[in-house]
């Protein structure tokens, strides 16, 4: 029997990068998947891939900062597939800026998408999970939610907030058999980073990441599959760092042997 047979999983950002691959890998493990993305074409493309491989999926083209849309999406998922076992929120943006260069408008935009949507997702998924006796929530946060890097004020603030929401949900709903964890990647090779390639990317990784390879979307999807499974039943309220050692190190290149 596959690991997620008879389970229903909803993933946001399902049209690209980590979200797309996570949708396809959960489906390959037997899950019915709600593919959520603001981009209708890419969300449907992910669903088409899953259906072509013999899986079950439905596309939800929507903005995850829209409260009514989030509420209606979960209601439709439960109507369509009968239950809700895993909610994995990935969709996000990653703007640059300091306290001075970030406009208030841009600040509110990243907080709405990278933090408020996490709250909305938890708010409207948890009642279904409680009703059926449990569930798992995973929030894609990133190491900047633990420690900011320069020129990333809005993003770091939003992700730190998303991590705080993750921990609050974990402690408030542990007795309802609902687990909530954050996955915190470092640099991942996804379309989000498509403007940052070649020697500039290689130099960045050599400078900041101890592991000598690029982290791929599959590394994150594999982590999500584990955290959503019963093997991780005792893990909740955690920031699971998947970054090739970057966050563990202070002054990585100080006297580093070549």
Ligand X SMILES: NC(=O)c1ccc[n+]([C@@H]2O[C@H](COP(=O)([O-])OP(=O)(O)OC[C@H]3O[C@@H](n4cnc5c(N)ncnc54)[C@H](O)[C@@H]3O)[C@@H](O)[C@H]2O)c1
Q: Minimal CA–CA distance to 138: which of 181, 84, 85?
A: 181
Contact call for residue 12 and ligand X (CB under 6 A): yes
* H helices present in the chain, as ranges: 17-28, 40-52, 67-81, 104-111, 117-132, 153-173, 198-208, 217-228
Rg (CA), the chain: 18
When asked if residue 18 is in the footprint of ligand X (CB under 6 A), the reply is: yes
Return the residues of window 107-126 that contact ligand X according to CB under 6 A. Answer: 113-114
C-alpha–C-alpha distance, residues 85 and 178, integer Å: 9
Exactly one of 4, 10, 13, 247 binds ligand X (CB under 6 A); that residue is: 13
Q: Is there binding between residue 140 and ligand X (CB under 6 A)?
A: yes
128 labelled catalytic:
no
Rule CB under 6 A: is residue 135 a binding residue for ligand X?
no
Nearest approach, Cβ of residue 191 and ligand X (Å):
4
Torsion, CA 243, CA 249, CA 250, CA 256, rounded to 10: -110
Contact 182, 141 (CB under 8 A): yes
Residue whose C-alpha is closest to residue 33's, from 17, 42, 45, 46 = 46
Spot the catalytic one: 155, 208, 251, 254.
155
Q: How far is the CB of 90 from ligand X (least distance, A)?
A: 5
The answer to whether 246 contacts ligand X (rule: CB under 6 A) is no
Q: Of residues 28, 146, 192, 252, which one binds ligand X by CB under 6 A?
A: 192
42 binds ligand X (CB under 6 A): yes
Q: How far apart are CA 75 and CA 128, in angstroms?
A: 9
- Minimum CB distance to ligand X smaller for 65 or for 236: 65
- Binding ligand X by CB under 6 A: which of 193, 216, 229, 249? 193
Three-state secondary-structure class, residue 29: coil
Interface region with ligand X, contact rule CB under 6 A, candidates 38-46, 47-55, 120-128, 197-205? 38-46
Is 38 among the residues that bind ligand X (CB under 6 A)?
yes
State how far the Cα of 74 lies from the Cα of 90, in Å rounded to an integer: 16
Are the C-beta atoms of residues 28 and 55 closer than 8 Å to each other?
yes
Three-class DSSP category at 178: strand
Among 46, 125, 166, 190, binds ligand X (CB under 6 A): 190
92 binds ligand X (CB under 6 A): yes
Q: Does 223 bind ligand X (CB under 6 A)?
A: no
- Residue 240, beta-bridge partner list: 183
Contact status: 247 vs ligand X (CB under 6 A): no
Q: Please tell me the count of residues contacting ligand X according to CB under 6 A.
A: 29
Of the candidates 205, 216, 94, 215, which has an alpha carbon nearest to the alpha carbon of residue 145?
Answer: 94
Stretch that binds ligand X, among 96-104, 170-178, 188-196, 225-233 (CB under 6 A): 188-196
The footprint of ligand X (CB under 6 A) covers 12-13, 15-19, 37-39, 42, 63-65, 90-92, 94, 113-114, 140, 142, 185, 187-188, 190-193
Q: Which amino acids are annotated catalytic?
A: 155
């Amino acid at each position: 029997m596959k690991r997620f047979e008879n389970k229903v999983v909803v993933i946001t950002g399902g049209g690209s990068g980590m979200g797309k691959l996570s949708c396809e890998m959960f489906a390959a493990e037997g899950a019915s998947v709600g593919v959520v993305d603001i981009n209708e074409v890419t969300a449907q493309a992910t669903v088409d891939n899953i259906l072509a491989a013999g899986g079950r999926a439905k596309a939800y083209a929507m903005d995850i900062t829209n409260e009514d849309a989030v509420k209606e999406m979960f209601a439709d998922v439960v109507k369509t597939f009968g239950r809700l076992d895993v909610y994995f929120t990935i969709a996000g943006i990653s703007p640059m800026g300091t306290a001075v260069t970030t406009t208030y408008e841009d600040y509110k935009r990243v907080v709405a998408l990278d933090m408020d949507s996490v709250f909305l997702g938890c708010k409207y998924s948890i009642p279904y999970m409680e009703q059926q006796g449990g569930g798992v929530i995973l929030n894609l946060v990133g190491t900047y939610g633990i420690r900011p890097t320069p020129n990333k004020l809005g993003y770091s603030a939003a992700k730190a907030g998303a991590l705080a929401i993750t921990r609050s949900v974990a402690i408030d709903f542990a007795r309802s058999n609902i687990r909530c964890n954050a996955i915190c990647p470092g640099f991942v090779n996804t379309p989000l980073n498509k403007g940052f390639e070649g020697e500039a990317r290689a130099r960045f990784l050599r400078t900041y990441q101890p592991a000598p390879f690029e982290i791929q979307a599959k590394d994150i999807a594999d982590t999500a599959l584990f955290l959503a499974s019963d093997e991780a039943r005792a893990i909740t309220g955690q920031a699971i760092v998947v970054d090739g050692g970057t966050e563990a190190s202070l002054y990585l290149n100080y006297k580093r042997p070549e």
